[in-house]
Amino acid sequence: MSWDYKIATPALKQLRKLGHEPTRRILAFLDERISGSDDPRRFGKCLKGDLGEFWRDRVDDYRILCRIEDDRFVVLVVRLGHRRDIYD
Protein backbone atom coordinates (compact mmCIF):
# COMPACT_ATOMS: atom_id res chain seq x y z
CA MET A 1 0.00 0.00 0.00
CA SER A 2 1.38 3.42 -0.88
CA TRP A 3 1.43 6.36 1.48
CA ASP A 4 0.28 9.93 1.03
CA TYR A 5 0.92 13.10 3.02
CA LYS A 6 -1.24 15.90 4.36
CA ILE A 7 -0.07 19.25 5.71
CA ALA A 8 -1.92 20.57 8.77
CA THR A 9 -3.08 24.20 8.66
CA PRO A 10 -0.48 25.53 11.16
CA ALA A 11 2.30 23.76 9.22
CA LEU A 12 0.98 25.22 5.97
CA LYS A 13 1.26 28.71 7.46
CA GLN A 14 4.83 27.95 8.54
CA LEU A 15 5.63 26.65 5.07
CA ARG A 16 4.43 29.87 3.45
CA LYS A 17 6.75 31.91 5.69
CA LEU A 18 9.91 29.99 4.73
CA GLY A 19 10.41 31.53 1.31
CA HIS A 20 10.33 30.18 -2.22
CA GLU A 21 13.40 27.93 -2.34
CA PRO A 22 12.96 26.11 1.01
CA THR A 23 9.27 25.62 0.23
CA ARG A 24 10.10 24.13 -3.16
CA ARG A 25 12.65 21.74 -1.65
CA ILE A 26 10.35 20.61 1.15
CA LEU A 27 7.44 19.97 -1.22
CA ALA A 28 9.75 18.11 -3.61
CA PHE A 29 10.93 15.93 -0.71
CA LEU A 30 7.35 15.14 0.30
CA ASP A 31 6.36 14.37 -3.29
CA GLU A 32 9.39 12.23 -4.12
CA ARG A 33 10.04 10.41 -0.86
CA ILE A 34 6.79 10.20 1.09
CA SER A 35 4.05 10.13 -1.54
CA GLY A 36 3.86 6.66 -3.03
CA SER A 37 6.41 5.20 -0.63
CA ASP A 38 5.98 1.76 0.88
CA ASP A 39 7.51 2.83 4.22
CA PRO A 40 7.88 6.53 5.12
CA ARG A 41 9.83 5.63 8.27
CA ARG A 42 12.96 4.78 6.30
CA PHE A 43 13.57 8.44 5.46
CA GLY A 44 13.06 9.93 8.92
CA LYS A 45 13.91 9.46 12.53
CA CYS A 46 11.66 8.91 15.53
CA LEU A 47 11.93 11.64 18.15
CA LYS A 48 12.35 10.93 21.85
CA GLY A 49 10.94 12.30 25.07
CA ASP A 50 7.86 14.52 24.98
CA LEU A 51 7.94 14.53 21.17
CA GLY A 52 8.12 10.72 20.97
CA GLU A 53 4.95 10.41 18.90
CA PHE A 54 6.49 12.44 16.05
CA TRP A 55 8.94 11.64 13.30
CA ARG A 56 11.49 14.04 11.90
CA ASP A 57 12.61 14.40 8.31
CA ARG A 58 15.49 16.57 7.24
CA VAL A 59 15.65 18.81 4.16
CA ASP A 60 18.85 20.89 4.18
CA ASP A 61 18.69 23.09 7.30
CA TYR A 62 14.96 22.60 7.69
CA ARG A 63 13.05 19.99 9.65
CA ILE A 64 9.64 18.45 9.02
CA LEU A 65 7.86 17.12 12.09
CA CYS A 66 5.13 14.66 11.23
CA ARG A 67 2.85 12.05 12.70
CA ILE A 68 2.57 8.75 10.86
CA GLU A 69 -1.01 7.46 10.80
CA ASP A 70 -0.74 3.75 10.00
CA ASP A 71 -4.49 3.13 9.86
CA ARG A 72 -4.99 5.67 7.04
CA PHE A 73 -1.57 5.38 5.33
CA VAL A 74 -1.06 9.12 5.78
CA VAL A 75 1.91 11.13 6.99
CA LEU A 76 0.50 14.25 8.68
CA VAL A 77 2.95 17.16 8.64
CA VAL A 78 2.34 19.08 11.87
CA ARG A 79 5.27 21.49 11.98
CA LEU A 80 7.97 22.91 9.68
CA GLY A 81 10.89 25.16 10.37
CA HIS A 82 14.59 25.85 10.56
CA ARG A 83 16.57 23.40 12.66
CA ARG A 84 17.63 26.04 15.19
CA ASP A 85 14.08 26.68 16.41
CA ILE A 86 11.84 23.80 15.31
CA TYR A 87 11.98 22.00 18.67
CA ASP A 88 11.17 25.05 20.86
What one-character DSSP code corresponds to residue 1? -
The domain segmentation of the chain, as residue ranges, is 4-82
Q: Identify whether the C-beta of residue 29 lies closer than 8 Å to the C-beta of residue 36.
A: no
Return the pLDDT at 66: 96
Return the pLDDT at 36: 83
pTM of the model: 0.89
Return the pLDDT at 2: 86
Return the pLDDT at 17: 94
Superfamily of segment(s) 4-82: RelE-like (3.30.2310.20)
Q: Identify whether the C-beta of residue 18 lies closer than 8 Å to the C-beta of residue 62.
A: yes
Residues of the chain falling short of pLDDT 70: none
Return the pLDDT at 49: 92
